[in-house]
Amino acid sequence: MVNIRRLDAAQPDFRAQLDALLAWESVSDDKVNDIVREILHNVRTRGDAAVLEYTARFDQLDVQSAEQLEIPQERLQMTLRTIDPKLREALEFAADRIKAYHEHQVEKSWNYEEEDGTILGQKITPLDRVGLYVPGGKAAYPSSVLMNAIPAKVAGVEELIMVVPTPHGEVNDMVLAAAAIAGVDRVFTIGGAQAVAALAYGTETIPQVDKIVGPGNIFVATAKRYVYGTVGIDMIAGPSEILVVCDGKTNPDWIAMDLFSQAEHDEDAQAILVTPDVAFADQVAASIEKLLPTMPRRDIIQKALEARGALITVRDLDEAVEMINIIAPEHLELSVEAPEVLLPDIRHAGAIFMGRYTSEALGDYCAGPNHVLPTSRTARFSSPLGVYDFVKRSSIIMVSEEGAQTLGEVAAILADGEGLPAHAQSARYRLKD
């Protein structure tokens, strides 16, 4: 018996219940902070030697020199030739589609000229070097390698450095194959806070990068938070979430399985169904009961559904849209007849899966859009990982002699108003007498 929460938006205390359901705060406790700070300090000051020590201690990987931590490019290419061809084909198919989608995100530099000859613009430049963190062990997903690496390469990043821990020397071949397909330039078998430190500060062997992306455990996330500013970082992700909105006309087994596909990630994952059809919510609950025993990861699924899942009934699809905008879900599935009708009113969602055939799993692997998405209601203010995360902009200002006359007068007035006389004077110097 799966004890999944049933909520009704018409209940007087509904909003409080919903807020409690959504509440999530990831806290790095003092112990984690202390450990991470020490690791960062040691790698920063002692370089390779510290990286080798931590890798021996945490990953039981004993090598003599830091050079041995690198997996040569030939090994990546060889792995690509030796994995199951069906998997290789699937990875290549996914990579092609991810590339095609992300190419639509490429922005161009622009500028415009004003009447007096002044030119204003914006120059787009890819980052020089990016670090990609890939977790080891059970959470090593080749699809994540594709999703993080391909937008960087589409952006034009010249050097992409991947780090992946290999506890006891165990290497994940699918991850290496994905790295080869995505065009990763160098791979080092290091992980944890020490890998983040090595990428952020550089060591004798591991080059310093400009930005670090990719998921990791609490030590990795904490280290990323600390090095932010020295390098750029991507979002710090919370547990994965799905919100399925259904009009009650999709096969309830499909919807149950879509909820499972989120819940199977881990016990903190969140899977919520919102429907205006109470009878349909009952059908989905029945499908959950029926299908759960068939699932290899049923224990995780059940724990996640009971801890953070919910079946919510609403008045109508308009109220469902209100719910979407409150929840601001990472993944939103609109399993309804005419999803395009709802779309204009949806303000907050990482990715929107429209129509009964668009299961979230398609987007996770191969539809094309990125699967790195804002979690924990951060879709209110942040975006999927994209090409825009691997470029930066520079403002271009080229004021003509004539332009300097009008702009200079105004700048001087405002600078005087703010009490910054050198600013005023530097503008006035350019005025004709």
What residues are labeled active site?
Answer: 330-331
Does residue 120 interact with a copy of itself by CB under 8 A? yes
Per-residue x/- marks for a copy of itself, 209-228, CB under 8 A?
Answer: -xx-----------------
Helix, strand or coil for residue 392?
strand
Does residue 37 interact with a copy of itself by CB under 8 A? no
Does residue 354 interact with a copy of itself by CB under 8 A? yes
Residue 331 DSSP one-character state: E
- CA angle, 96 then 241 then 380, to 5°: 90
Of 1-9, 14-22, 68-76, 111-119, the segment contacting a copy of itself by CB under 8 A is 111-119
Does residue 286 interact with a copy of itself by CB under 8 A? no
Residue positions forming the annotated binding site for NAD(+): 133, 194, 217
Shortest approach of a copy of itself to residue 326 CB, angstroms? Answer: 11
Residue number with CB closer to a copy of itself (69 or 245): 245
Q: Which of 5, 65, 83, 50 is nearest to 288 (CA)?
A: 5
CA distance 6 to 312: 6
Residue number with CB closer to a copy of itself (186 or 371): 371
Does residue 280 interact with a copy of itself by CB under 8 A? no
- Residue owning tokens 């203010």: 381
Burial (Cβ within 10 Å: 0-12, 13-18, ≥19) of residue 296: exposed
Does residue 86 interact with a copy of itself by CB under 8 A? yes
CA distance 351 to 373: 7
Shortest approach of a copy of itself to residue 339 CB, angstroms? Answer: 7
When binding is defined by CB under 8 A, the residue of 197, 200, 321, 351 that contacts a copy of itself is 351
Structure tokens at 255: 């919807």
CB atoms near residue 412 (< 10 Å): 20
Structure tokens at 70: 């690198």
Residue number with CB closer to a copy of itself (187 or 221): 221
Question: Scanning residues 292 to 331, which ones bind a copy of itself (CB under 8 A)?
Answer: 295-297, 301
Does residue 380 interact with a copy of itself by CB under 8 A? yes
Question: Scanning residues 53 to 82, which ones bind a copy of itself (CB under 8 A)?
Answer: none
Does residue 135 interact with a copy of itself by CB under 8 A? no
Residue positions forming the annotated binding site for Zn(2+): 262, 265, 364, 423
Structure tokens at 424: 């005023």
Question: Scanning residues 400 to 429, which ones bind a copy of itself (CB under 8 A)?
Answer: 400-401, 403-404, 407-408, 410-415, 417-427, 429
CA distance 115 to 356: 54
Structure tokens at 320: 């469902």
Strand pairing of 110-113 and 119-126?
antiparallel
